[in-house]
A and B are shown apart, each in its own frame.
Chain A
Amino acid sequence: MRNRITILLLAASLAVAACGDDAATTTAAATTEPAPSELVLMTHDSFAVSDGVLEAFTAETGIVVSVLQAGDAGTMLSQAILTKDDPIADVLYGIDNTFLSRALDEDLFLPYTSPRLDVVPGDLVLDAEHRVTPIDFGDVCLNYDKEAFASSGLPVPETLRNLADPRYDGTLVVEDPASSSPGLAFLLATIATFPEGGDYDWRDYWSDLAANDVLVTSGWEEAYYSSFSGGSGEGDRPLVVSYASSPPAEVYFADPPVEEAPTAVITDGCFRQIEFAGVLAGTAYPEAAGRLIDFLLSDTFQEDIPLTMFVFPASTEATLPPVFVDFATIPDHTATVDPAAIDAHREEWIEQWTDAVR
């Protein structure tokens, strides 16, 4: 008898699970919108904001912003897709151009044209329908250890192509594009630099890097801290795939303070990651959500971005902090790959990359 109760309860929970889908019903957005007391901002784990910044939005609108942190950018997008019929947030911030196309295909966002959009350079705006609004950008670039190059006498490579030269054997550490966002960005930079169809394409390039003993780590932390020799790195490789904002971070987070960054950026073959925000379709407060997007483009928020997230504000009006002015590099030219092509070929490219470096 009691055994049967056990089974029954198990069966009941299974039955509940099976019906779970029907239970989730979408609520249509109200046409006349009451002002909410709270908006939920869903973002990734790297999101950070200084005390008092989001409170400025509350002071202005009476709406409290509560932040949900959802893992890395890919995890966040997965969650947004899985919950799109019954969203857990009103605004999503932190989706980048490598995931943009997938997010748009899933119809995650409502179009919203912010009146603040005029402060954003046109080349950051990737969706003509304005379903997403650019908020910040960061460039994934090769960083090098200044001291190591100075003492070895090896010239600092100027282009990606230089690295295929046997002189640079055993000098480079990169992240696995299958598990790391800067790793994917660097792979895309090589795909843009050595496009398919040429007689030397990106796969040839990676075979050459592999012959040059390129080291692949699963994440940025292992690459930078354990394998890179510059700055706070503990390793022995003088070249690493990191960010254009890493040298200012090395200065800002030095203890004791330093006059000069121990590392620098190679401006060839950088890939620009643009981060967007969008109003989640299914929010009950599309109007208020739009105001939050405006706020993310305000000087208050934009000027807080560099020293909290170590990326650049999208707004041209935002003043950069001195450490960024002195030590950060914005490359004149960055490699670009169409977001739709990224979405269509991501898996195939990663597989081909794996074959090339193996």
Chain B
Amino acid sequence: MDRAVDRRRPLSRTRGSGRLGSVLLVAVPVMFLGYFFVYPVVTIIVTGLAPDGRLDLAPFGAVFGRPSLLGVAWFTLWQAIASTLLTLLVGLPGAYVLARYDFPGRRLVRAGVTIPFVLPTVVVGSAFLALLGPGGPLGVDLRRTVWAILIAHVFFNYAVVVRTVGSYWERLDPSLEQAARVLGANRWQTLREVTLPLLRPAIASAASIVFLFTFTSFGVILILGGLHHATIEVEIWRQATALLDFPVAAALAVLQLVGVSAILVAYSRYQQRRSHQFRLRSAATARRPTGWGARLVVAANLGFMAVLLGTPLLVLVYRSVRTPSGLGLAFYRGLTERTGSGLFVPPATAIGNSLRFALLATVLAVVVGLLASAVVAYRRGVAARTFDALLMLPLGTSAVTLGFGMLLALDVPVDLRTSLWLIPVAHSLVAIPFVVRTAVPVMRSIQQRLRDAAAVLGASPGRVWREVDLPLVARAGLVGAGFACAVSLGEFGATSFLALPTNPTLPTAIFRLLGQPGAATFGRAMALSTLLMLLTGLAVLLIERVRVGKLGEF
């Protein structure tokens, strides 16, 4: 441990009133997660496994005794690992290009890559089925193969790698790399021995999120995987909502939680051991691509993004303007018509509801997430590690488990079981890991020397934080906020398993339209999906432009 500097900074040095603040810092995220996550999940599992108050372990026998369910567990694990590696492989060059090169439309691209992330799988699924079918551009039928699943997972998670790693890469001081080059290392050596080790915390962060997302993959598996592929998540859903076998569903939920926890604990140990302190810069390091090599790298990556992310999105946009009487905006105009009153949701209402929930979820996720990040980043030991794993757990928990758990548990002290407040809360549980995973690597790598210098020069601890930490943390926080907003706009998580007052958001309006056959309903669903894409792009773009403190440029 060459980093012998006191690691319990800066909390440990604040005394008196600081101690109360420090307790609050821990208490708020712990209580939030304890009440809205741990308590519901434990309650539903206990109810499933001990319906009459007596624990019955027979369902585990059913799970482990059935080869098909063991096969499901194995498939869940390996497809998640494969998807994660594949996403890293194609995402890292994209992260590099967006972090290190400045080109016209860079912000637009950075916001645009987030769009796939929010689209309902049932909508994207139809585009993938068209593209991966025998009539598609690939010319081979990949439908219902594991390749379709892997490609879709890369499509949905590309943004996670590009944005989480990219925001960190951008702040990485290029002088270390330049020094390596001066000392005679070639590009490849510099990348392997200097850049990648420095990026490791951010890469591990992104990988952990992608892994959890794909480990609990649901819609992609159902729509693109066909009969022969199922994840634990899909199986929990089938057992709980189609077969109504709660004990087996609970046993599977335990299996899922144990698997996810084991991986999270290992990950968090690795992160704490591996984090470095070094110079991060609050100003971006991107420059214009000069020379053919650089231009080629930028162009190749943008081209790849256009194909991977652009094609399925274009299919949807095209379907939204392809009317029986040629290309036109009839389906968009149709959105405001009242035919079939039961299916009708005024688009303004759906957009308004979606934005309201997204705003609340984002604020919740950023506040709780940054407090939690401080706890994770500035503390060591088993408790901090456990807490870190706990923060990530909602991403790796089945939506059915959490949704049913909330329904069962949240009637004390006030009955929240059917409250619309659960929507932003459930979304924020999925979004908090994004905030934490982007903020913690930054917080950990801020050099203590900078803080010490500021303190020696007479800055109060609050001022040190404001002047040294905040500018760097804010950028990470905004990237997290962008994801939080996207998570909410896309209706991730447990909300579909809650019983809530009618509250048409964009995704629910899309589902409603897709529920009936008819050229107009299908076209309007595509038109609404296109609106959802635009809204997401705009929201993320706006969030990225927020300026915090004295930060000029992001």
Contacts and interface: CB of A to CB of B under 8 A. Distances in A.
B129 A357 contact: no
Contact of A232 (B31, B47, B498, B521): B521
Interface residues of B, number: 86
Interface string B315-337: 00000000111000011001000
A358 B519 CA distance: 33
Contacts of B223: 217-219, 222
B516 A310 contact: yes
Contact of A246 (B331, B341, B382, B517): B517
Contacts of A24: 411
Contact of B340 (A88, A234, A253): A253
B530 to A, nearest CB: 16
A221 B404 contact: no
Contact of B30 (A10, A45, A69): A10
Interface string A303-327: 0100111100000000000000000
A17 interface: yes
A21 B46 contact: yes
Interface stretch (B32-40, B102-110, B275-283): B32-40
A173 B390 CA distance: 43
B521 A253 contact: yes
Interface string B484-508: 0000000000001111111000001
B126 A226 contact: yes
Contacts of A49: 342
Contacts of B225: 218
Contacts, number: 237
A29 interface: no
B443 interface: no
A40 B502 CA distance: 12
A50 interface: yes
B117 interface: no
B34 A86 contact: no
Interface in A312-349: 346-347
A13 B39 contact: yes
B202 interface: no
A222 B500 contact: no
Interface in B108-138: 122, 125-126, 129-130
B30 A255 contact: no
Nearest to B243: A347
Contacts of B31: 9, 13
A232 B383 contact: no
Contact of B129 (A72, A178, A222): A222
Contacts of A42: 499
Interface stretch (B21-29, B285-293, B455-463): B21-29
B499 A69 contact: yes
A97 to B, nearest CB: 15
B342 A3 contact: no
Nearest to B513: A253
Given A82-B408, A226-B130, A252 B518 contact: yes
Instruction: Name which of B22, B23, B125, B325 has the most chain A CB atoms within 10 A of its CB.
Output: B125
A9 B418 CA distance: 26
B516 A249 contact: yes
A243 to B, nearest CB: 8
Interface in A1-54: 2-7, 9-10, 12-14, 16-18, 20-21, 23-24, 40, 42, 45-46, 48-51
A10 B22 CA distance: 17
Given A20-B409, A102-B244, A346-B243, A2 B23 contact: yes
B496 A71 contact: yes
Interface residues of A, number: 86
A49 to B, nearest CB: 6
A16 B514 contact: no
Interface stretch (B169-177, B234-242, B259-267): B234-242
Given A49-B342, A231-B519, A74 B47 contact: no
A279 B36 CA distance: 30
A79 interface: yes
Interface string A232-258: 111000000010001001101111100
B184 interface: no
Interface string B375-389: 100010111101100
Contact of B26 (A2, A20, A67, A226): A2
A231 B227 contact: no
B43 interface: yes
Interface string B418-448: 1000000000000000000000000000000
Contacts of B325: 256
Interface in B211-248: 222-223, 225-228, 234, 237-238, 240-246
B543 to A, nearest CB: 30
Contacts of A246: 517
B411 A86 contact: yes
A10 B39 CA distance: 10
B360 interface: no
A2, A217, A233, most chain B CB atoms within 10 A? A2
A13 B34 contact: yes
A225 B522 contact: yes
Contact of B342 (A6, A50, A83, A354): A50
A81 interface: yes
9 contacts: A17-B38, A48-B512, A70-B499, A75-B497, A79-B404, A225-B126, A253-B340, A255-B331, A346-B243
- Pick the 10 closest A-B CB pairs, nearest first: A253-B518, A308-B342, A48-B342, A13-B34, A70-B499, A255-B520, A17-B42, A3-B383, A218-B222, A74-B241
Interface of B: 22-23, 26-27, 30-31, 34-35, 38-40, 42-44, 46-47, 53, 122, 125-126, 129-130, 222-223, 225-228, 234, 237-238, 240-246, 323-325, 330-331, 334, 339-343, 375, 379, 381-384, 386-387, 390, 404, 407-409, 411-412, 417-418, 496-502, 508, 511-512, 514-523
